[in-house]
Chain A
Amino acid sequence: MWRKLFSNVNQYKKYAILAPLFVVLEVVCEVLIPKIMTYIIDDGVAKGNINAVLINGGIMVILAGLSLLLGLLSARFAAVASMGFGANLRENMFNKVQNFSFKNVDKFSTGSLITRFTTDVSFVQQAFMMSIRIAFRAPVMLILSIVMIFTINIKIAIAFVVLVPLVWGLMIFAMKFVVPLFEKLFKKFDALNTKVQENLTGIRVVKTFVRENHESASFRKASLDLQDAQIKAEKLLVYANPLMNFVTYAITITVVWIGGIQIMQATMSAGDISGIIAYIGQLLMALVMVAMVFVNLFMSRASARRISEIIDETPDISDKDADPSVKVEDSNIIFDKVSFKYKEAAENPVLSDISFEVKKGEVLGIVGGTGSGKSSLVQLIPRLYDASQGNVLVGGRNVKEFKIETLREAVGMVLQNNTLFSGTIEENLRWGNPNATQEELEEACKIASAHDFIVSFPNGYKSDISQGGVNVSGGQKQRICIARALLKKPKVLILDDSTSAVDSATEAEIREGIKASMKETTLIVIAQRIASVIDADKIIVLDDGKINGIGTHKELLQNNNIYKEIYNSQLGGVR
């Protein structure tokens, strides 16, 4: 998983290679320094040779300077590589998400997608940074310092060769125990946070039902659970500190004892012991760093998995085999025994055995209760989803024969939960047609009954829409969205409950306007209000994913019970 993710480094690969290379060179310099030190003491100080002191001292300064330079460069390279890596990750994820079909998007919730872009990327980026620096630094330092100890004193070196794996083994053993405990701890953390979150969003519910004490009690339980989990998980880890202390002391005692005797026996020099003591320092530091890398990689494992999930997801709607020269010639629509499920495994289909035809320029109304499948049905037309069974035909051709872009250019759709993006009203409108003239913009807005309120804004068409379009009212937003779709001059226009916040008089005007200006366009209207579909050429009554009735308003009122019920529940509609 890591390897695959790390391949996202791409154009920064050069830096990702240079960084560890320089780190290794830096470590070499660092490891050589104490060795030079032993020369200073033994050849220079002990023999009273000032020249030797100065020469070796000079070498040491040069080495330290070189190591500083290498260190700085490797830091720089690592920064470039890891930031580039992070940027690539985000970019690749974003591209991927843009290629997702609706089905793919549904699989990940918006909230979870956003976390993946933020927290997860930054964890993985940090893990990458560690991998190209510390993951190289620590082992190289560990090995080289043991090698250097070998060159000074074999006996002591052997003691280390035994000791280091022992300490390491101990660490890994402890980790085996601790890791699952930590996983548990994180879960408790999540549970606690969820509790707080729920109480924040649902505070009014808590207060109306006077459940403050009930909630406090359950929070106390979650908090105590967390406390126990924390103590359990960290209990072993708190001994890491004393253990490190113990190891340091044990090593020092061993070295001083063996070294001391050897010095007294004149088989070892004073410089040697200073060298060894210095190498011990480096060695211990390296050990701690290795542990750090492990912990970090472990901690970001879940993040890496979540990112991989996105990058590895295959968009499930593809137009690879479609012929780009195939155009949408005509705007009649045929559904032929169409069934649809959101998930393969789902037991009940959302739509089953849907067949109907709408001719060019006709108006089709669709009514039905919540969850009856109205939105699902129309989303099959621009291939936002693919039918599970049966065929959807536009202009006489199966929708799968078109390039997706060709198809969606021809099919305009105003979604139920529509979105405006931050930017001016004009910029938002231009989504429909980037090259539209001011006249075209205004014409579309006039049809959508949006022109009047837009020009009443201080900046008119240049007025800013804030994120999510919160500074315009629901009805205004819907009308801008309709204008945006009109600008596409689509062959098929689908309005999915997109005038619910507009009063019925205005709504009727909009409908009239669309019909008058786009005679060739097939119009499909999903509505809650019977009044919205009353004049349609054909009305489909959907119930539980099946066509319950099809006909004109008059026909349905006579022979369709559900339609009658809906009609009556709305008090006979608007007179």
Chain B
Amino acid sequence: MAKIIRTPSRGGKPMAKLDFKESLSVFKRLFKELGSFRIRVIIVFISIVLHSVSYAVGTMYLKEILTFIFENAANGVVDFKGLAEMMAWFIFIDVIGILTITVASRMTLTIAASMLCQLRVKMFDHMQKLPISYFDRNIHGEIMSRYTNDTDAIRELLSNGFRELINGAVTVLSVFVSMLILSPILTLIVIGNLILMGFLVVIVTGKTGKYFLGIQKQTADVNGYVEEYIAGQKVVKVFCHENVVVKGFGKKNDELRIIGTKGSTYAQILMPLLGNLSYLNYAIVAIGGSSLIALGKMGSMAAGIATLVMFLQLARQIGRPVAMISQQFNAVMMALAGAKRVFDMMDEPVEVDDGYVTLVNIQRDENGEIRECDCRTGSWAWKHPHKDGSLTYKELKGDIQFEDVSFQYVKDKKVLKNVDLYAKPGQQIAFVGATGAGKTTITNLINRFYDIPDGKIRYDGININKIKKADLRRSLAMVLQDTHLFTGTVMDNIRYGKLDATDEEVMKAAEVANATSFISHLPEGFNTMLTSDGANLSQGQRQLISIARAAVADPPVLILDEATSSIDTRTEAAIQKGLAQLMKGKTVFIIAHRLSTVRNADAILVLQDGEIIERGDHDKLMLLRGKYYQLYNGLFSWE
């Protein structure tokens, strides 16, 4: 009853079926994940088996009671005491059944809920450690579906699947045994009917499956259409194309309806088919049984009737667990496929981090020597342990050097070719070039989102591979082209740059980014809640928040990747003052589309196809009369 609605996920691939060996290994892994719950799982298992057995025994015993009643009736005896005694036993069996299922159900809930919580947390923790390239390779919707569809399938398996499967199996087994004991001949009739039923079910589900694929495809088609034309709604209006678009939709929609009706018909007839076939089964057994009794083939009349009544009950019951098992079997396979995808993600190799140089706060003592310090001093140094056991400190300055760096995301497609560059502390270096020229890649290498196969990058003279990633990244701040905001207040979002920043620090940072004026216009100022990635803010406003975020972090190196692209030039000019303050004394890398943004840089590097083709400051490049000059005079565009 408590079925949780499956969270829809777009972009999730249909689940692939696992073969037997895979299923088994996933199953084992799942059991291992149960960890501390293992004992409880075993208790649940025993309870369910006990419950199913008690149910079977109860049904058998009921037959004894009925026989007793009919025999008494045939002999004209009214034996209250005997009946009461038998009923007492029956109640005893029932109580066991109820108690065991209660225990099993309650414990299952706790196990399933806690286990899923554990699994999710584990999955998330692991996800946080995965390298950026993993997120490039996988569609977000697909990763997302591991948290939604896949975990939900596992939940279904844990909370219902196993129980019903065991229950169904024990029931079928005991019902069969009971039937065989009651009457082998009638059992044969039932088996015949069941085979027929099974045959029909296979045909119908086969058809359903076939149409289901078609429905999926057509649904995707309709959704795609809706997505495209709703996103382009305004253009449709401008061109008065509503009627054409509606007609196009009608066609696709009708196709979906037609195939949907076919598929749904097969899905819908399964239940009446099974239900009514079990009635036919019932009728046939009744005719056969009655004939047998009338022919005297089933012992005394009383015993015969009791047997037939019970048998008919059983014959009706057998259909349900059989249907249940086949249904659950599907669910189990789905859950295992889901579990496999979850485990696959947990098995993804995490970001390599064998750096040992760390970033520490320092203080200078009276001799000017660097001393490590636990408090926040505002000055930092690289703590560099050497092989010989000695320890050196090197002050964090923000000196960055690329030596013959080449890089490729995919094989044989070099994005950077033998790049050499240096940035002295306090310098501003700008990158200019077409989309795909490698500008963003350079910055992605500095913070080690990706590792380079060839060449060296040095940070204050230390090879960045030796620096612990977390410390490396802490020493840089990035303002990215696509701003991402998190659910929380404006204050929280800015504070993301430095978690222990005071409210004053946050406000000061907002001031630097020139964001205070628009923030104060928000309904609740700094305490305004932002939801769905700050959907209620304009792109420009989001960029301002993201600049403030970098300002509050205040590291020695700053990377601005198209940080002001969505801000108009006049506002940009206004925040330039703030930015200038922010950039003072820092090494800054600027990537910008707009040339006015990079004009004041100490060095401008023009990138083309992964190579630096021109370098120098604005005046030098203008004199050079090369690409930069053309670009600047609007004689040429990257597009």
Contact = CB atoms under 8 A, between A and B. Distances in A.
Contact of A503 (B1, B62, B497, B634): B634
A492 interface: no
B247 to A, nearest CB: 11
Interface stretch (B70-78, B323-331, B372-380, B608-616): B70-78
Interface residues on B, range: 35 or more
A491 B548 CA distance: 46
B65 A30 contact: no
5 closest residue pairs by CB, A with B:
A71-B272, A503-B637, A504-B634, A475-B639, A202-B484
Given A72-B273, A83-B257, A118-B8, A419 B2 contact: no
B284 A216 contact: no
15 contacts: A45-B290, A60-B287, A61-B283, A72-B269, A78-B268, A79-B265, A114-B226, A209-B477, A223-B117, A257-B83, A281-B316, A371-B538, A413-B238, A468-B231, A475-B639
Interface in A210-242: 210-216, 219-220, 223-224, 226-227, 230-231, 233-235, 237-242
Nearest to B493: A205
Contacts of B128: 199, 206, 212-213, 215-216
Given A75-B265, A198-B533, A246-B98, A193 B80 contact: no
A366 B264 CA distance: 56
A295 B1 contact: yes
A33 interface: yes
Contact of A384 (B116, B234, B316): B234
A409 interface: yes
A249 B98 contact: yes
A370 B566 contact: yes
B147 A253 contact: no
B249 A94 contact: yes
A209 B497 contact: yes
A115 B226 CA distance: 10
A97 interface: yes
A82 B1 contact: no
Given A64-B279, A223-B117, A264-B72, A84 B261 contact: yes
B113 A117 contact: no
Interface string A504-523: 11100000000000000000
B473 A208 contact: yes
B224 interface: yes
Contact of A264 (B78, B132, B477): B78
Given A212-B128, A264-B79, A74 B272 contact: yes
Interface stretch (A85-93, A146-154, A393-401): A85-93
B275 interface: yes
Contacts of B540: 370-371
Contacts of A240: 1-2
A49 interface: yes
Which of A94, A235, A299 counts the most B-chain CB atoms under 10 A from its CB?
A94
Given A84-B257, A299-B5, 4 more contacts: A67-B276, A83-B264, A198-B487, A503-B636
A510 B270 CA distance: 65
A64 B8 contact: no
A242 B102 contact: yes
A574 B633 contact: yes
Interface in B200-253: 219, 222-224, 226-242, 245-246, 249-250, 253
A180 interface: no
B265 A68 contact: no
B567 A570 contact: no
Given A99-B242, A569-B570, A266 B533 contact: no
B291 A53 contact: yes
Contacts of B422: none
Interface residues of A, number: 173
Nearest to B636: A503
Interface in B144-187: 144, 147-148
B196 to A, nearest CB: 13
B102 to A, nearest CB: 4
B46 interface: no
A50 B287 CA distance: 9
Nearest to B59: A252
Contacts of A253: 87, 90-91, 94
Contacts of A185: 4
A91 B449 contact: no
Contact of B272 (A68, A220, A565): A68
Contacts of A504: 634, 637
B2 A234 contact: yes
B117 A48 contact: no
Which of B102, B234, B271, B276 counts the most A-chain CB atoms under 10 A from its CB?
B276
Given A79-B268, A91-B250, A209-B497, A102 B237 contact: yes
A71 B277 CA distance: 11
B148 A193 contact: yes
A245 interface: yes
A65 B124 CA distance: 55
Contact of B294 (A49, A257, A277): A49
B364 interface: no
B120 interface: yes
Nearest to A374: B568
Interface stretch (B303-311, B384-392, B413-421): B303-311
B489 interface: no
A236 to B, nearest CB: 9
B294 A50 contact: yes
SS of B interface (majority): helix
Interface stretch (A105-113, A439-447, A549-557): A105-113
Nearest to A80: B261
A291 B570 contact: no
Nearest to B480: A204
Given A53-B287, A94-B249, A193-B147, A45 B73 contact: no
A237 B128 CA distance: 35
A257 B69 contact: no
B57 interface: no
Given A384-B237, A415-B235, A505 B570 contact: no
Contact of B284 (A61, A192, A207, A382): A61
Contacts of B484: 198, 201-202, 204-205
B2 A45 contact: no
B90 A41 contact: no
B634 A117 contact: no
A113 B226 CA distance: 9
A361 interface: no
A46 interface: yes
B312 interface: yes
B52 to A, nearest CB: 11
A178 B121 CA distance: 26
A303 to B, nearest CB: 9
Contacts of A318: none
B447 interface: yes
Interface string A259-294: 111011110001001100110010000000001100
B59 to A, nearest CB: 10
Given A61-B284, A91-B253, A570 B596 contact: yes
Which of B90, B223, B569 counts the most A-chain CB atoms under 10 A from its CB?
B569
Contact of A202 (B83, B290, B486): B486
Given A119-B8, A382-B238, A528-B569, A210 B474 contact: yes
Contacts of B306: 270
A575 interface: yes
Contacts of B1: 237, 240, 291-292, 295
A252 B283 CA distance: 23
B191 interface: no
B553 A209 contact: yes
B105 A71 contact: no
Nearest to A431: B239
Contacts of B268: 75-76, 78-79, 129, 133
B480 A239 contact: no
B237 A189 contact: no
Nearest to A384: B237
A256 B535 CA distance: 66
